[in-house]
């Protein structure tokens, strides 16, 4: 059986492209869960310098296959099984969030539940103008459990996150950009090229410095401003031992700004 997710490097080995292709609606089921775990493991072990998450089909995802993922657990009222399953989802979101290189998510259409939570675990979200988003778990008596609620709150504030999750509504990309949930909004026909170019540019850049940026911001989110400030000198100072920094400094002195090339080391 063809995997519902594929990871490709193509002509640019620095950039891994993760494509969700599980027709007709890219619903989250056991097969997709297994494939996503394998894809994230491949990113962790392959160590590209950037990753683009995208989807094939009319929608990014119509949500979760409730019959496959949740119905057996709910019929048995199995709290332990539900807790174990959600623990796997939380850890999966954390693994994406902790990847030590830039990650970009491209949303071309309807992006519900797990797919939006995956997008929120990425560093940047690029959306087509016709895209829309929703965390609609409340319609079946659940709450998002891949870390989406808290990551959305970090982007837009707790009030809007509660409104978004509790109403289980669907919100357009324009509104989501205005809230700060979407980082870049582009015309429908430009999404793929824009997202790929952004991801490629980030992957070709000073990825050790990008990793440091992610570590500082992760420290801020976990431990607050004072701790992030206390750790910034240590995190940023290590960059002076990298070949990328030394090469970029030499390039700046010899040729001016913006001429350096980076190897991610």
Number of folded domains that form the chain: 2
Catalytic residue among 137, 175, 190, 215: 137
**Under a CB-based contact definition with an 8 Å cutoff, are residues 96 and 122 in contact?**
yes
The answer to whether 38 and 88 are in contact (CB under 8 A) is no
One domain for residues 227 and 161: no
14/133 same-domain check: yes
Catalytic residue among 117, 175, 177, 215: 117
Q: Catalytic residue at 117?
A: yes
CATH number for position 166: 3.90.226.10
Q: What is the b/e burial string over 205-230, where b = at least 16 CB atoms within 10 angstroms of the residue's CB? A: bbbbbbbbebbbeebbeeeeeeebee
Give strand pairing partners of 104: 52, 124
Asked, for residue 264, whether it belongs to a domain, the answer is no
> Are 72 and 50 found together in one domain?
yes
Residue 242 CA to residue 52 CA, distance in Å, equals: 25
80 in catalytic set: no
- H-run or E-run covering 127: strand 124-128
- The answer to whether the beta carbons of residues 60 and 115 sit under 8 Å apart is yes
Helix (H) or strand (E) holding 166: helix 158-167
CA pair distance 261, 265, nearest whole angstrom: 11
User: Phi, psi at residue 106, to the nearest 5°?
Assistant: -105, 120
**Residue 225's domain spans which residues?**
207-255
Q: Tell whether 168 and 226 lie within a shared domain.
A: no
Q: What is the pLDDT along the chain (265 residues), one digit of tens a residue?
A: 689 999 998 767 799 999 999 999 999 999 999 999 999 999 999 989 999 999 999 999 999 998 887 778 878 888 988 899 899 999 999 999 999 999 999 999 999 999 999 999 999 999 999 999 999 999 999 999 999 999 999 999 999 999 999 999 999 999 999 999 999 999 999 999 999 999 999 999 999 999 999 999 999 999 999 999 999 999 999 999 999 999 998 888 888 787 789 988 8
Give the per-residue pLDDT at 256: 77
pTM check: above 0.85: yes
Please list the residues that pair with 134 across neighbouring strands: 112
Q: Is there a contact between 54 and 106 (Cβ–Cβ < 8 Å)? A: yes
DSSP 122: S
- What span, in angstroms and rounded, lies between the C-alpha atoms of 186 and 79? 42
**Structure tokens that stand for 158 in this block:** 């707790």
Same domain as 212, residue 192: no
């Amino acid at each position: 059986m063809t995997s519902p997710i594929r990871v490709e490097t193509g002509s640019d080995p620095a950039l891994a492209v993760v494509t969700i292709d599980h027709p007709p609606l890219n619903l989250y089921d056991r097969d997709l869960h297994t494939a996503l775990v394998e894809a994230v493991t491949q990113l962790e072990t392959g160590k590209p310098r950037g990753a683009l998450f995208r989807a094939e089909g009319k929608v990014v995802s119509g949500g979760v296959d409730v019959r496959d993922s949740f119905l057996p657990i709910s019929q048995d009222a199995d709290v332990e099984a539900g807790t174990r399953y959600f623990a796997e989802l939380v850890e999966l979101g954390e693994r994406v969030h902790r990847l030590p290189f830039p990650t970009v998510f491209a949303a071309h259409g309807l992006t519900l539940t797990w797919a939006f939570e995956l997008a929120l675990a990425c560093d940047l979200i690029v959306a087509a103008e016709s895209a829309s988003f929703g965390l609609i778990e409340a319609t079946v008596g659940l709450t998002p459990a891949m870390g989406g609620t808290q990551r959305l709150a970090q982007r837009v504030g707790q009030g809007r996150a509660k409104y978004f999750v509790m109403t289980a509504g669907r919100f357009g990309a324009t509104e989501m950009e205005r809230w700060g949930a979407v980082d870049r909004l582009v015309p429908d026909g430009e999404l793929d090229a824009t997202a790929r170019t952004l991801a490629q540019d980030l992957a070709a850049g000073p990825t050790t410095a990008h990793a440091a940026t992610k570590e500082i911001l992760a420290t801020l989110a976990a431990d607050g401003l004072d701790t992030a400030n206390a750790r910034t000198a240590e995190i940023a100072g290590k960059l002076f031992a990298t070949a990328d920094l030394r090469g970029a400094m030499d390039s700046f002195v010899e040729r001016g700004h913006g001429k350096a090339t980076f190897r991610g080391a």
